[in-house]
Structure 1
Amino acid sequence: MEAVTRNIFLYLSKSSILNTLAQKRGSSLVSGKIIAGTDFRQSIPVIRELNQKGLSTTVDHLGEFVSKPETAIQRTKEAIQTIEMIRKENLVSHMSVKMTSLGLDISDDLVISNMIKILETAEEHDVMITIDMEDETRCGKTLDLFKQFKSQYSCVSTVLQAYLYRTEQDLKDLRPLDPFLRLVKGAYKEPPSVAFPDKKDVDAQYKKLIEQSLTYGLYTAVATHDDQMIEYTKELTERLNIPKDRFEFQMLFGMRNQTQLELAKQGYHVRVYVPYGRDWYGYFMRRLAERPANISFAFKGLFKK
């Protein structure tokens, strides 16, 4: 049943008709609940409130799969403005970017040029930039670019997805760079030729990657809403005597709000992934596909007062 539910939401995430309708009619429904706002300035009070509660954030201007160079350039300018506002407003926040929104599918020269502009600004303002991972067909290219950027900039991190067979080797390959890594289970629909099809195998691989990343001494962000994984990480770090300043938990804005606060009170570093923008529909559907419990968490968030 879980696989069926996942496939339904992944199928819905690709509907251009529903995406257009969501942008026109649904932004007001989810703003402040699933997304922080339709633009970054609208999101600042939300981020500040999270910071005041002891929670860090990483912000993400939603949107991907850009096909026009002028759109990628505009998204780059918007990212630079966001970095500058994070520093100006003294927000405790990183920023996440998707390479396809910056021209990954258009040309190497374009995406590299845009990322350098973003990273130069991030270095100047001391804001970490996380390169989000997308589907498997773009994984290798994204990691190659990350390695190139990491050799030149300290303010760049990336994401590894546990459901891909290749990820354990990717983690080993990245180890010499001493990267800040966000570990996730994975949210795209992938064929069994490249990804574990069964949840139990993904869970086992996720635990393995968490342990490997931490024992390698890498700063590790465990991005999950799964209580089993949260408890596993807590028990593992206690057993291995890994200090709390060497890892963090990451969760989505609008989901598991109480759990976020409880973990922060326990002394764990918690970072909230805060999306904003009108292109929220695909993001939301993939989050629902990731884990059936997210459906409950999401709707609680939508209808909270």
Structure 2
Amino acid sequence: MEAVTRNFFLCLSKNNWLNQVARKRGSGIVTGKIIAGIDFPNSVQIIKELNRKGLSTTVDHLGEFVHSKETAIDRTKEAIETIETIAREKLDSHISVKMTSLGLDIDRDLVIRNMTSILDTAEKHGVMVTIDMEDEPRCEQTLELFKQLRESYSCVSTVLQAYLYRTEQDLKKLSVLKPFLRLVKGAYKEPATVAYPDKKDVDDNYKKLIRQSLEYGLYTAVATHDDEMIGYTKELAEKLKIPNDQFEFQMLYGMRSKTQMELVEQGYKMRVYVPYGRDWYGYFMRRLAERPANISFAFKGLVKK
């Protein structure tokens, strides 16, 4: 049943007609519920409120698979402006970017130029930029770009997905760079040739990756809503004597807000992934596909006052 639910929401995420309808008519419904605003200036007050509660954030301008150079450059300028706003407003926030939004499917040199512009600004202001991971066909390119950029910048991080067979080896190779890593289960529909098809195998691999990342001495972001994974991370950190400043938990804006505050009160670093922009529909459907419990969390977030 879980596989059917996952495939259903992944299928919906790729429906162009529904994406267009959601973009034109649905932003007002979800603003302040699962996205912070239609643009970054309209999201600042929500981020400030999260910061006042002791929650850090990472912000993401929704949208991917850009196919024009001009749009990729516009996305780059928007990311730079977001970093400058974070610095000016003294927000406790990182920024997340997708390589496809910056021209990955157009030209590798274009992505490098765009990321260099973003990271020059980020380095100046001390704002971490996380390169989000996308679908498996783009995984190798994304990691190669990350490794190249990491040679020149300390303020760049990336994401590894537990459902891919390759990830354990990717983690081992990246560990020499001592990066900030976000670990996730994975949200794209992938064939069994490259990804674990069974939830139990994904969960087991996720636990393995959390342990290995911490044992490598990497700053590790455990991005999950899963109580089992949260409990595992806490117990593991205590067992291995890992200090709280070597890892953090990450969750999505609008989901499990009570649990987020409980983690803060327990002394853990808690970072909220805060998306903004009109292209929220595909993002939202993939979050629902990740885990059935997210459907309940999302519904509660949408109906709360």
Partner of 1:146: 146
Query: Which ranges of 4 or more aligned residues in structure 1 deviate by more than 6 Å?
Result: none
Separation (CA, whole Å) in 1 of partners of 2:137 and 2:210: 24
**Aligned partner of residue 75 in structure 1, secondary structure:** helix
Q: Tell me the CA shift for residue 170 of structure 1.
A: 0.1
Partner of 1:272: 272
Partner of 1:168: 168
Partner of 2:263: 263
Partner of 1:56: 56
Partner of 2:206: 206
Partner of 1:70: 70
Separation (CA, whole Å) in 2 of partners of 1:103 and 1:65: 8
Q: Tell me the CA shift for residue 66 of structure 1.
A: 0.1
Q: Tell me the CA shift for residue 4 of structure 1.
A: 0.1
Partner of 1:289: 289
Q: Tell me the CA shift for residue 271 of structure 1.
A: 0.2
Separation (CA, whole Å) in 2 of partners of 1:90 and 1:120: 18
For 1:154-233, list aligned pairs within 5 A.
Answer: 154-233=154-233
**Aligned partner of residue 189 in structure 2, secondary structure:** coil
**Aligned partner of residue 64 in structure 1, secondary structure:** coil
Separation (CA, whole Å) in 1 of partners of 2:154 and 2:202: 30
Partner of 1:89: 89
Deviations 1:128-148 (A, max 9, x none): 000000000000000000000
Separation (CA, whole Å) in 2 of partners of 1:218 and 1:195: 24
Q: Tell me the CA shift for residue 24 of structure 1.
A: 0.8
- 1:106 equivalenced with 2:106 (yes/no): yes
**Aligned partner of residue 220 in structure 1, secondary structure:** strand
Deviations 1:43-70 (A, max 9, x none): 0000000000000000000000000000
Deviations 1:144-166 (A, max 9, x none): 00000000000000000000000
Q: Tell me the CA shift for residue 71 of structure 1.
A: 0.2
Separation (CA, whole Å) in 2 of partners of 1:24 and 1:129: 29
Q: Tell me the CA shift for residue 111 of structure 1.
A: 0.5
Deviations 1:272-292 (A, max 9, x none): 000000000000000000000
Separation (CA, whole Å) in 2 of partners of 1:84 and 1:174: 29
What is the TM-score when the length of structure 2 is the normalising length? 1.00
Separation (CA, whole Å) in 1 of partners of 2:261 and 2:42: 23
**Aligned partner of residue 97 in structure 1, secondary structure:** strand
What is the TM-score when the length of structure 1 is the normalising length? 1.00
Partner of 1:36: 36
Give the letter for the 2:291 counterpart.
R
User: Alignment RMSD, CA only?
Assistant: 0.3
Give the letter for the 1:265 counterpart.
E
